[in-house]
Amino acid sequence: MRISDGQQQPPPLLEFKDVDTYYGELHVLKSVNCRVGEGEIVCLLGGNASGKSTTMKTILGIVAAQRGTITYGGEVINNLPTAERVRRGIAPVPEARRLFPRMTVLENLEMGAFTRVDEPSMGLSPLYVEQVFEIVQTINRQGTTIFMVEQNANMALSIATYGYVLQTGEVVLSGTAKSLRDNEMIRQAYLGEMKTR
């Protein structure tokens, strides 16, 4: 379900159109459609085993899309090898223990300034989470488009332009960050808010 607030989206830098991805016989991504507009911060939300990591692997070409198209900068990249995708500027900023240990948080994030961001708050204390999201916003204001895969829906939606919600490999909800924050399902499932009677 798409939640619309009538705002026009910028042309896509990265776009998935009806993408299906499998691990052997296991159908992991199911007709996924999403777009990341030039200059935006777009977040991909979802719980464990929702398909977030597979989405990133499919963007990178680590896992091949069996159906659908992936475009980057207006060009279909389905058949490009991972190395070529990275050369063109697509690569993850790793989460948690996959960071460069001798570098500061800022330096680790700057390594991904040419790339798209993967669960930046994973394993961090609340104070560092706030700092990381401030740095993500700063990088975006400097002109970098960011596709952020994140479980911390509250923080992600506070800085994102647009968002998608994955459940068992399907986009079940999409819309502006504000419309998602205001959605009752999101508030209960991801923001930890209970409906009061």
* Contact yes or no for 27/67 (Cβ under 8 A): no
Burial class (CB in 10 A: 0-12, 13-18, 19+), 184: exposed
Residue 151 domain flag: yes
Residue 131 domain flag: yes
Residue 103 domain flag: yes
* Best CA proximity match to 129, nearest among 144, 113, 111, 151: 151
Number of domains, the chain: 1
23 pLDDT more than 90? yes
Q: 16 CB contacts (<8 Å, ≥6 apart)?
A: 32, 33, 34, 35, 55, 58, 68, 69, 70
Residue 82 domain flag: yes
> What's the pTM value of the predicted model, to 2 decimals?
0.78
Check residue 24 and report its DSSP letter.
T
Residue 3 domain flag: no
pLDDT digits (tens, 9 = 90+) for 105-119: 666 565 554 444 745
Q: Which domain holds residue 173?
A: 12-189
CATH no. for residue 17?
A: 3.40.50.300
Whole-number pLDDT of residue 8: 67
99 pLDDT more than 80? no
pLDDT digits (tens, 9 = 90+) for 123-144: 455 667 788 888 889 999 998 8
pLDDT digits (tens, 9 = 90+) for 182-193: 888 787 776 555
Residue 6 domain flag: no
> Do the strands 75-76 and 12-23 form a parallel or antiparallel pair, or are they unpaired?
unpaired
Long-range contact set of residues 35-38: C-beta below 8 Å, sequence gap at least 24: 35/9, 36/12, 36/116, 36/145, 36/147, 37/9, 37/10, 37/11, 37/12, 37/13, 37/145, 37/161, 37/162, 38/10, 38/11, 38/12, 38/13, 38/145
pLDDT digits (tens, 9 = 90+) for 143-157: 889 999 887 788 899
Half-sphere exposure of 121 (CA within 13 A, CB side): 20
The Cα–Cα gap between 53 and 94 comes to 11
Q: Which two tokens stand for residue 116?
A: 């798209």
Residue 5 domain flag: no
Residue 40 domain flag: yes
Whole-number pLDDT of residue 194: 46
Check residue 64 and report its DSSP letter.
-
